[in-house]
A and B are shown apart, each in its own frame.
Chain A
Amino acid sequence: MKEKIEQLKMRIAEELQSAGDSETVEKIRVAYLGKKGSVTELLKGLKELSGEEKKEAGQQINALKKYAEEHISARIAQIKAEELQRQVDSAEEYDVTLPSRNVQGSYHPITLVQRQVEEIFASMGFTIEDYFEIVDDYHCFEALNIPKHHPARDMQDTYYLDNGQLLKTHTSAAQNAIMKKYGAPLRAIFPGRCFRNESTDACHENTFFQMEGMMIDKDISISNLIYFMKTMLSHVFQQDINVRLRPGFFPFVEPGFELDISCLICGGEGCPSCKNSGWLELCPCGMIHPNVLKAGGIDPEEYTGFAFGLGLTRLAMMKYGVKDIRDLNSGNLKALSQFVHE
């Protein structure tokens, strides 16, 4: 018996050694440890022995069984490890430095700038309003205290339509409707596309965007106006912007101002961009004219307010360094596809 066990041990070891894959090992397992396997058969034969002999043979066979089980699972583990290694060895090694193909869409630069300004004002409690591009004389002029014979109403400045309406020349055309919609107090911004009948060149377009803003409450002052403009512009340009006001005349504000910002290029030292003045003219603004408040159904004795008209197109050009305004309405994707993110 002992001899037989030793022989089996050796055979198992030899066979496992020559087994090259897990299927062969499985066959070996079945051949020795399966229901009809050699080791199992030996165990079955035990019942024919007795006493001391039986005990001794039992121990030896069990030791053999243990030996077989251990070696088989060790061999399986070894083969699996070898297989994984072969997989790894044969795997393709990637060139991680290859250029990636990145197709990106793009936003119109006006959208990007508009969103920035909207976000700032929305965070300060301003509602964002939308308004028509086609308006009537009342909203574009009369409600804004622009007299009947003002040059702005001439055909050379305004696009008139064959039904008597016109293309809005400024976002202020929405002031009256928004005042009537909300009443006072009121905080609103309203971006929009405007139209002026003028010939186009690198600096002039007949179609451009503005962002109008209004704030009306019981004690809105010039001091507040400067605060909001400075805060907004500093956020847009992500630096501390100096602003200054100069008198400027617009019929719908009184007092009216031209707002200048310190030149972004030279920081106020003076350079060709700011004609050596250190300042860039950016945005007309002012205290809403009492007649305009009245036309909007708001009592000018009780309420005051400020309004501003930010040139979004100009802002976008300044921010991104666009030199030719005509690029913006050109549809030219070589220009526009660059504006991939905010």
Chain B
Amino acid sequence: MLISMNWIGDFVDLSGLDIEELIHRFTLSTAEVDEVYHMGSQLRDVVAGKILTVENHPDSKKLHLLKVDAGDKIYDVVCGAPNVREGVVVPFVKEGGFAGGMEIRCAKIAGVESHGMCCSESELGISADHRGLMELPEDTVPGTDITELYPIRDIVFEVDNKSLTNRPDLWGHYGIAREFAALTGRPLQPLATLDLSAFDGLDPVDIQVLDTEHCYRYTGLKVRNIQKKISPVEMRIRLYYCGTRAINLLADLTNYLMLELGQPMHAFDCAKVDSIEVKRFPEPFDFQTLDSQVRRVDENTLMICSKGEPVAVAGIMGGLDSEIEDDTDSLLLESANFDAVSVRKSSTRLGLRTDASMRYEKTLDPEMTTVAIERFMKLLTEIDPQVQVISRMTDVYVRKYPQISLSFDKSYVDRYTGIDISDQQILHTLNALGFSASKEGQVFSVEVPSWRATKDVTIKADIIEEITRIYGYDNFKITTTRSALYPEQRNAGNKADNFAKDLLVQKYNLHEVHSYIWYDGKKCRELGIETEPNVRLLNAMTPENDTLRSCMAPTLLCFVQENKSFAPDFGIFEIGRVVEGKKENGECRERKKLGIALFSRTRSEKELFFSLLEMLSTLGQDLKQSEVTFRKTAPEHTWQHPKNTAEVWVHGQKMGSICALHPAVLANIDRKASVVTAELDMDDFAAVPSSDIHYQEPSKYPGMELDLSLVIPQGTIFSDIQKAWTQEDFPLLQQVYLVDSFDDGHQKSLAFRFSFLSHEKTLTREEVQPSVDRILKNLEGMGILLKA
């Protein structure tokens, strides 16, 4: 929103103050200022010039040769404007002056020297009108500086609308002026209005509020005999500076009032609209708004009607049919208050956001409707004294906000601020902002003014903001707290995440990525990854991406495919959330998962698979001192390899999966590469208790190692073989390592190194032989024999 400091000056005297500095304080105390513009600051040597003579240019039909009296002398000027004529007074830029974005120099125009320029309003920067020269009053003394005639010089600043969302009172100049009054300690002038009580004897306007839910107040007045059609220059300049196009006096006045008080108004041509109903229609219908668009209006949209016919979308925009036109001489003036939510929703549905709807959305103060009419009439009668009021001001006040009174003591303020703001300053600030504040004993009492009471200020904490923002946050002394100290344990989840990240990045050189919580439907389809139905977004960007992920692999595999030219070998991982369907109560079963995917063009799938297996084992061992085991399982997802898919178990619990890819999916990613992927439930994993280190005295005696090479029947897996030494107690057996493996498809053999150790003596072969014999016997029972 654009704010004119000249306009502010109507209500608070800021003379002698540094305006830019004030605007900066406004940012810090009230709302963010985006930009400051110095209007008219470039104009130089622009004066009233009287056109004395007009002659035709010898070589041009459009151009004229003028003699212009600019007070100091007579200038010869070449001018192309259509409305030049003798005796008219226009803005004139003398040779060497500046206007219209350029310096005016002596120049030959079509062969004739010109020593200045006559200006349009557009060249003065006070409107977009460049159709012809601006005409000044005939009695203007030639030579008078244009900036003395009109308030062209102004400082205009743009407030970020977002920072005003909760301040309905700041959507007009008067409210902003109140802030400047509070910031400077200068008084706010009362608003000059016209007392309309003299017309109370006239007939009322016929106003029927049929929807009392969405219309809070509707005030109307009828006026006739309006003679003036064009707004005064001063008003047009302000409107233009504040971003509004001047149209005609009545339309301009409603806009002016909205910019001044924040109260949207609407002027109906009384010849077309002379009674009002506020209601909704039971069926949708088409309605042509002022902007000539035909819009579909539905049954939830509040409408202003006259004799049953819709004439305006309440709070948003008038209809084309009842528009004020140049020959309008009587009007029905609307000043109303509508439900904020209803206006916002209607405006969204219609795709039509206007200056009025933007204001209504903020929950305007209904007390303003009558004030706005009184102010409107004050301005109108000043401009056009002939106008006649032909109805009494008719007011249907459906819903009034309650008066809010708050009380608090000084210690409350001190506790919130942490600093000492004096009683006097508290009272002064609040009163300047219109809160009637007083102090009795230790208690401050505050009456919240109506313009802050619609939603903005409701509790005493709101008062703290008023006091502190005017005090200035820059003036706060900053201090640390006096809170008690106590040790904080890192939570297990955070610790596990960080540990896993460090391990995978630093030991295994993987790259951490982040992917979306929904599947990329198109990409998955390209890769042949069939994702399962899951909880869906109701309003996804594209319908293809509406399904939430139930596991990590698909999004990671998409990344693997996109990165396949990054390096011949790489691995990625993500710790992120998935949704494993819904719980019994219908809520999402959200889990935190670690997903890993490895890609290689140089290593076999088998190597890759076992290095991924090692990563998971290391993670379990290092963080939780828990053995991680793997159990072959049938694939759960179509992208998993039918043979090489396994469950991951930690601490007696299934916590994830590991798999090679189904050849069909792998082929879509890269025909020449190997890809494996794994997933671990980090919520479950973090919950595994970690044990302390159990220290064992090292043996003073050397151990004994014995290698056994075994022939294994096809289909027998290690977890079965190891039962030969794990299902019985062999006190001397310390560890068994796999030292060699061989499998040519016909014969499979594994070589193990058995390591024996005693804490009492150096072992001899004879002492370990009974254990070895027993193990071999157990193996024999499984059909496993020593290799010949």
Q: B-contacting residues of A (Cβ < 8 Å)?
A: 103-108, 110-111, 115, 118, 122, 125-130, 132-134, 136, 149, 151, 154-156, 159-165, 167, 185, 187, 193, 195, 197, 199, 206-207, 215, 217, 219-224, 226-228, 230, 244-249, 254-258, 287, 289-290, 300, 304, 328-329, 331-334, 336-337
- Contact, CB under 8 Å: B511 / A223: no
Contacts known (A151-B344, A162-B536, A255-B468); A110 close to B30, Cβ less than 8 A? no
Count the B residues whose beta carbon is within 8 Å of the partner chain — how many?
Answer: 86
Q: Once the chains are docked, how many angstroms separate the CA of A133 from the CA of B549?
A: 13
Binary CB contact string for chain B from 572 to 583 against chain A (1 if under 8 A, 0 otherwise): 100011010010
Q: Work out how many contacts link A and B, with CB atoms closer than 8 A.
A: 223
- Contact, CB under 8 Å: A159 / B537: yes
A339 closest partner in B (C-beta) = B512
Extra 19 A-B pairs, beta carbons < 8 Å, given A134-B577, A230-B478, A248-B163: A108-B512, A115-B498, A125-B485, A127-B491, A128-B491, A133-B577, A155-B538, A159-B538, A159-B540, A162-B536, A167-B517, A185-B484, A193-B577, A222-B418, A223-B479, A224-B479, A255-B465, A255-B468, A289-B461
- Contact, CB under 8 Å: A105 / B511: yes
**Smallest beta-carbon distance B637→chain A, Å:** 20
Question: Which of B127-135, B432-440, B557-565 makes up part of the contact surface?
Answer: B557-565
Contacts of A108 in B (CB 8 A): 512-514
Q: A-contacting residues of B (Cβ < 8 Å)?
A: 27-32, 163, 165-167, 341, 344-345, 348, 415-419, 459, 461-462, 464-465, 468-469, 473-474, 476-486, 488-491, 493-494, 498, 501, 504-506, 508-517, 535-541, 548, 558-559, 562-563, 566-567, 570-572, 576-577, 579, 582, 586-588, 590, 592
- Contact, CB under 8 Å: B535 / A162: yes
Q: Which of A155, A221, A230, A244 contacts B415 (CB 8 A)?
A: A221
Q: Once the chains are docked, how many angstroms separate the CA of A245 from the CA of B461?
A: 17
Counting from the closest, the 3 A-B pairs by CB-CB distance are A221-B418, A223-B418, A255-B465
- Contact, CB under 8 Å: B163 / A255: no
A185 closest partner in B (C-beta) = B483
- Contact, CB under 8 Å: B469 / A130: no
**Smallest beta-carbon distance A193→chain B, Å:** 7
- Contact, CB under 8 Å: B572 / A331: yes
Contacts of B505 in A (CB 8 A): 105-107
Contacts known (A136-B587, A220-B481, A247-B29); A161 close to B535, Cβ less than 8 A? yes
**Smallest beta-carbon distance B26→chain A, Å:** 10
Q: Which of B167, B483, B508, B536 contacts A105 (CB 8 A)?
A: B508
- Contact, CB under 8 Å: A287 / B461: yes
- Contact, CB under 8 Å: B488 / A161: no
- Contact, CB under 8 Å: A227 / B479: yes
Contacts of B488 in A (CB 8 A): 122, 125-128, 187
Q: Once the chains are docked, how many angstroms separate the CA of A244 from the CA of B469?
A: 12
Task: Name 27 interchain pairs, CB-CB below 8 A, sorted by A.
Answer: A108-B514, A110-B514, A125-B488, A130-B491, A130-B592, A133-B517, A160-B539, A161-B538, A163-B587, A164-B586, A193-B517, A193-B576, A220-B481, A223-B418, A228-B480, A244-B28, A244-B473, A246-B473, A254-B462, A255-B462, A300-B461, A328-B514, A329-B516, A331-B562, A331-B563, A333-B511, A333-B567
- Contact, CB under 8 Å: A247 / B541: no
Q: Once the chains are docked, how many angstroms separate the CA of A185 from the CA of B511?
A: 39
Contacts of B576 in A (CB 8 A): 193
B583 closest partner in A (C-beta) = A163
> By DSSP majority rule, is chain A's interface helix, strand, loop, or mixed?
mixed
Contacts of A128 in B (CB 8 A): 488, 490-491, 494
Q: Once the chains are docked, how many angstroms separate the CA of A220 from the CA of B481?
A: 7
- Contact, CB under 8 Å: B562 / A207: no
Contacts of B484 in A (CB 8 A): 185
- Contact, CB under 8 Å: B586 / A106: no
**Smallest beta-carbon distance A278→chain B, Å:** 11
- Contact, CB under 8 Å: A222 / B539: no
Contacts of B482 in A (CB 8 A): 219
B502 closest partner in A (C-beta) = A107
**Smallest beta-carbon distance A102→chain B, Å:** 10
B345, B415, B592 interface centre (most CB from chain A within 10 Å): B415
**Smallest beta-carbon distance B509→chain A, Å:** 4
Contacts known (A111-B501, A221-B417, A244-B473); A249 close to B165, Cβ less than 8 A? yes
- Contact, CB under 8 Å: A162 / B538: yes
- Contact, CB under 8 Å: B512 / A161: no
B492 closest partner in A (C-beta) = A130
B461, B480, B536 interface centre (most CB from chain A within 10 Å): B461
Contacts of A226 in B (CB 8 A): 473, 476, 478
- Contact, CB under 8 Å: A254 / B510: no
A161, A195, A197 interface centre (most CB from chain B within 10 Å): A161
Q: Once the chains are docked, how many angstroms separate the CA of A284 from the CA of B169?
A: 23
- Contact, CB under 8 Å: B517 / A254: no
Q: Once the chains are docked, how many angstroms separate the CA of A255 from the CA of B579?
A: 37
Q: Which of A106, A329, A333 contacts B514 (CB 8 A)?
A: A329
A328 closest partner in B (C-beta) = B514
